[in-house]
Structure 1
């Protein structure tokens, strides 16, 4: 049961980090910079990657017997 709870917490935290990364990427300055350079800044990418890792680890924890 403890592993399932930790998995759920990781999924929720990962979704929050991914949403935070999305919000960061939608600011005016970052939108203009992304249009000019064609890439996202490192903070936004870090939030996306951390969110994805948390969600994957959480799903593994939830699906484990």
Structure 2
């Protein structure tokens, strides 16, 4: 039961981090910078990667028996 709770918490944190990264990438300065350089900011990528890792770990924790 504890693993499922931890998995659920990781899932929620992962979704929040991914959403935060998306919001960060949609600011005017980040949009202009992204258009000029063709790359995302390292901070934005950190949010995306950390969010994805937490989502995967959370899914494993929730779906594992």
Q: TM-score, normalised by structure 2?
A: 0.98
Please list every run of at least 4 consecutive aligned residues from structure 1 whose deviation after the TM superposition is greater than 6 angstroms: none
Q: How many residues align?
A: 65
- 1:46 is displaced (CA, Å) by 0.2
Aligned to 1:62: 62
- 1:63 is displaced (CA, Å) by 1.1
In structure 1, distance between residues paired with 2:30 and 2:60: 33
Aligned to 1:20: 20
Aligned to 2:9: 9
Give the gaps of 5 or more residues in structure 2. none
Q: TM-score, normalised by structure 1?
A: 0.98
In structure 2, distance between residues paired with 1:61 and 1:16: 17
CA RMSD of aligned residues (A): 0.4
Aligned to 1:31: 31
